[in-house]
Amino acid sequence: MNMPRRKIVLLLAGFFFLLIPVQPHTSAYEIEDMSLEEKVAQMFVVSFFGEELNFAARDLLSEWQPGAVVLLPSNLDTPAQITRLTNSIQQTLIDHGAPPAFIAVDQEGGIIARLDEGFTQWAVPSLLTATQNPDLAYQFGEALAEELLAVGINMNFAPVADLQTNLDNPIIGRRSFGNDPEMVSPIIAAVIAGMQDSGVMATVKHFPGHGDTGADSHLELPVLDFTEDDLFARELIPFQAAMDANTGAVMVAHIYFPQIMDTNSPASLSSNIIQDLLRDEMGYDGIVITDALDMDAIDTVYSPSDAAIAAIQAGNDLILIGAHISPENQIEAMQAVVDAVNSGQISESRIDESVRRILAAKERFNLFDWRELELSGIESRINSEAHTSLIDLMFQQGITLIHDEADLIPVQGRTLMVYPESRPPLGLACNRNGWQFATISSNPSDESIATIASSARYVDNVIVFTENVLDNSQQAALVEALPLDKTIVVAIWSPFDSQYLPPISTYFVTYSPLSQFYGSICDILHGEAEAQGTLSLMLEAQ
């Protein structure tokens, strides 16, 4: 059944009461006072190489004053270095009379987390969905924002709203919140609310859904033969929830939908997707941003200048350039858009429409009152130590018991626990009640398997911790060698391990290999806690 297609009115004024500016800076950046070049520059998200502003990057910022900057791995090291860099970016823009920039990063949590040293390392989003606790998701969004703002980052290219409906998807996978749209939607909405209430603009991605593709748009143009009804019935449900949560931005994917689009251009360059579907049918009036234009789905067909022009004609507000396009080519792309306006290829009113949205978003997220961040006190501003308690709660509430057909939980009697030799603390955490323990490699030899199987004959229960059986087939051989009616499997990486194993009595999923799961799963196995999670990735997904 199709979901309702409702107009969503973005009540920006409702957020202004949260903003208490020292001085009313917005009057300095009225669109009527901006030149065409200044307005076009506001629509570009530029990038550069290195941990500080080199000459090319400084010239890019000072000559064109772009509206946004994305920080990439080459730009990021320690919290102090990142803070110095964001300070210098904003100060350079302000010194040239420009509005402060959106400074963005990919900080999804889980496997895509650009901020590393000194920042919290989060579990994958599907664990959060398994908790089915929007309050916890809101706190996660708050924590993400706290760490980003601590170093001067005010825009996050997250959360991912793509559903993990294709197990062969080479790019989404563990970045997804799950594959049940009804389960992931309230969690995604809560993450957005927590992040944005704390002052960081969220960017939900990759519209209208990258989860069912079998190709990576970094390398080629994926094709999905979905109708619009197909999208509304499933893929668009999490995006609708994000829009209901007033997400500041929506990132559009480089995917071709032949059933919907008039041309064979990617969705990111298609007015059918951006104007007809996102704007008109779903009623979204926030910022629309392209995925990076240096991905092969785009740059093998379009030059940076042609891609930027096509993106604006399609209805995008922000043009994300990407890491592989030089500052000189980024300047050429901005100039090409100016030339396209002057020649009548793009109307200036089309530019004004986007710039008004961008300036309104900068006011909403208090950018006009930017102040230089002190280098002292960064660690306390990041507050990562306090955030580790959220990870503990995620595991306590998210670890999921899929089935326990022989009622082996809580574990009683003589027990052999087999766990990865790379995780010695896991054995220590579960070392209670006289259990026996054996470590084994992620790809155990036949001899090791035979030894474990021999020991298993003399115990009442066997607990085996698996890590991504798809890529380690000998783990399946290990489980096959055990007495299945008294074997408990704990999948500590992929919930889909069971699809590659023989039928087992008891099956747990922890979703994430972070060491914080140790205490929670051991408490559950020993009967000192219950598994509270709800499976966030339906195992019949294809």
* Residues with catalytic function: 218, 291
Sole residue written with tokens 């944005």:
196
CB-based contacts of 467: which residues, under 8 Å, 6+ apart? 420, 442, 475, 492, 493, 513
- Is the CA virtual torsion 109, 111, 112, 115 positive or negative? positive
Length of the chain: 542
Say which residues have a Cβ less than 8 Å from residue 228's Cβ, sequence separation at least 6: 259, 260, 277
Which H helix or E strand runs over 404? strand 400-404
Q: Which two tokens stand for residue 153?
A: 């980052």
Tokens of residue 536, six digits = 């966030």
Question: Residue 455, class by beta-carbon neighbours within 10 Å (0-12 exposed, 13-18 middle, 19+ buried)?
Answer: middle
SS (H, E, C) 438-476: EEECCCCCHHHHHHHHHHHCCCCEEEEEECCHHHCHHHH
Calpha distance 520→514 (Å, rounded): 12
Distance CA 363, CA 248 (A): 12
Strand order in 436-440's β-sheet? 400-404, 506-509, 487-491, 461-466, 415-420, 436-440
Residue appearing with tokens 């999948």 = 491
